[in-house]
């Protein structure tokens, strides 16, 4: 038969970094399975879950055996697994600290979903534990790894928009289920701010490469809505950046899904709409010459994260979004909540320099020419 497939089959697992996935939910099923499958640097070597039968079903989806599935009680047995070099923590926020610290103490590198934790103290404890154990720690800010967000950052910092004056970002969605852990203060550490508003905050910091100096915020927590007994429904926050640059942001669990980023510069304006979904990101730049919408190769956001963290492990480099990046968002989110509570501007710790909390730049798929 003369027929030749025109692509290569999936590459072997040798040299790739084996991850234990800690927690199995919608994200795991819909995003991480495909991502892990196409990653060139990482693969899933074990699962940790509370539900044995579902774990085994997922295990098959990852080409794992029953022996690769662990309960939370068995978590420490991962220490015996040399092929598990790292863990990816996708648990409710309040559990991040415990499992990250235990993983670090076993010598496993830690990739942790955002937000890094539920408050500054717990987030810092994760950073400290990983540092002490000599393992890598990365906060899984997927929007700092996409070509679209890097194109936005390049437009902002490279001068395409002229001097940047103002920014605006929105991330709102509807959370319907009053029982969702995201609506429990103990488990989540807050309402929409640490879950979706953090995208606005983190992306504003990322595209500017600078840290805000002050914050003002207002919030709304409707009475009588069972969803918002413990956490706020909506928050608006305003950030003051160096040089008089001001950014506004809106976040909510009570509004129809909308995700945007706008940057207003002297010579042009940039719009990402949508700005934060797993796929279908769009970047549009408008200036005197008209509008343009750059095009990028296909990619998988979680695959890019896996790849970056695996490379940092292999090459002994600090991830682009290490634990410190996650701590800084907690510092600012604490100030957002304080401002919303007091009705006053809250000053933030002075931070100099560009990308003060970031590590080695990731490889990002390039815009096509």
Q: Which residues are catalytic?
A: 114, 199
| Interaction between residue 222 and a second copy (CB under 8 A) | yes
Considering only residues 3, 158, 226, 353, which one is a binding residue for a second copy as defined by CB under 8 A? 3
Name the token pair of 32. Answer: 């991480």
Considering only residues 117, 124, 202, 269, which one is a binding residue for a second copy as defined by CB under 8 A? 269
The site map against a second copy for 10-29 (x = CB under 8 A) is x------------xxxx-xx
| Interaction between residue 226 and a second copy (CB under 8 A) | no
DSSP per position, 82-138:
TT--EEEE-S-HHHHHHHHHHHHHTT-EEEEESSSSSSHHHHHHHHHHHHHHT--EE
What's phi and psi for 58, nearest 5 deg?
A: -65, -40
Identify which range of 135-143, 197-205, 238-246, 353-361 contacts a second copy by CB under 8 A: 238-246
- DSSP H or E stretch at residue 132: helix 120-133
Considering only residues 159, 162, 178, 242, which one is a binding residue for a second copy as defined by CB under 8 A? 162
Residue 121 CB, shortest distance to a second copy, in Å, is: 23
Rg (CA), the chain: 21
| Interaction between residue 7 and a second copy (CB under 8 A) | yes
**3-state SS assignment for residue 139:** strand
C-alpha to C-alpha distance for 6 and 77, rounded to whole angstroms: 42
| Interaction between residue 67 and a second copy (CB under 8 A) | no
**Both ends of the chain: CA-CA distance in Å?**
38
Site for a second copy in 249-268 (CB under 8 A): 249-250, 252, 254-256, 258, 260, 262, 264-268
Site for a second copy in 280-299 (CB under 8 A): 280, 286-295
Number of residues near a second copy (by CB under 8 A): 89
C-alpha to C-alpha distance for 341 and 237, rounded to whole angstroms: 12
């Amino acid at each position: 038969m003369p027929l030749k497939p025109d692509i290569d089959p999936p590459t072997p697992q040798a040299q790739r970094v084996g991850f234990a996935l800690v927690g199995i939910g919608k994200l795991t099923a819909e995003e991480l399975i495909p991502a892990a499958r196409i990653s060139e640097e990482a693969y899933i070597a074990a699962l940790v879950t509370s539900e044995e039968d579902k774990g085994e079903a997922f295990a098959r989806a990852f080409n794992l055996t029953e022996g690769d599935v662990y309960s939370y009680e068995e978590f420490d047995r991962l220490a015996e697994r040399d092929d598990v070099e790292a863990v990816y923590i996708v648990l409710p926020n309040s559990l991040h600290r415990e499992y990250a610290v235990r993983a670090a103490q076993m010598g496993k590198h830690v990739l942790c979903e955002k937000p890094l934790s539920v408050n500054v103290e717990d987030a810092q404890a994760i950073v400290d534990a990983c540092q002490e154990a000599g393992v890598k720690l990365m906060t899984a800010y997927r929007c700092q790894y996409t070509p679209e967000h890097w194109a936005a950052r390049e437009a902002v910092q490279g001068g395409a928009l002229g001097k940047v004056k103002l920014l605006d970002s929105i991330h709102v969605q509807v959370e319907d289920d009053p029982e969702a852990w995201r609506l429990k203060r103990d488990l989540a550490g807050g309402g929409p701010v640490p879950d979706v508003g953090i995208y606005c905050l983190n992306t504003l910091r990322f595209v500017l490469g600078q840290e805000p100096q002050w914050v003002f915020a207002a919030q709304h927590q409707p009475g009588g809505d069972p969803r918002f007994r413990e956490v706020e429904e909506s928050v608006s926050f305003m950030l003051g950046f160096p040089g008089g640059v001001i950014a506004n942001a809106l976040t909510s669990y009570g509004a129809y899904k909308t995700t945007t980023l706008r940057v207003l510069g002297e010579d042009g304006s940039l719009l990402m709409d949508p700005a934060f979904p797993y796929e279908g990101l769009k970047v549009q730049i408008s200036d005197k010459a008209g509008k343009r919408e750059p095009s990028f190769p296909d990619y998988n956001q979680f695959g890019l994260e896996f790849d970056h963290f695996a490379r940092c492990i292999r090459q002994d480099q600090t991830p682009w979004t290490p634990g410190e990046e996650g701590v800084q968002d907690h510092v600012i989110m604490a100030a957002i909540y304080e401002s919303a509570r007091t009705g006053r501007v809250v000053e933030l710790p002075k931070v100099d320099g560009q990308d003060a909390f970031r590590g080695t730049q990731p490889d990002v798929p390039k815009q096509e020419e």
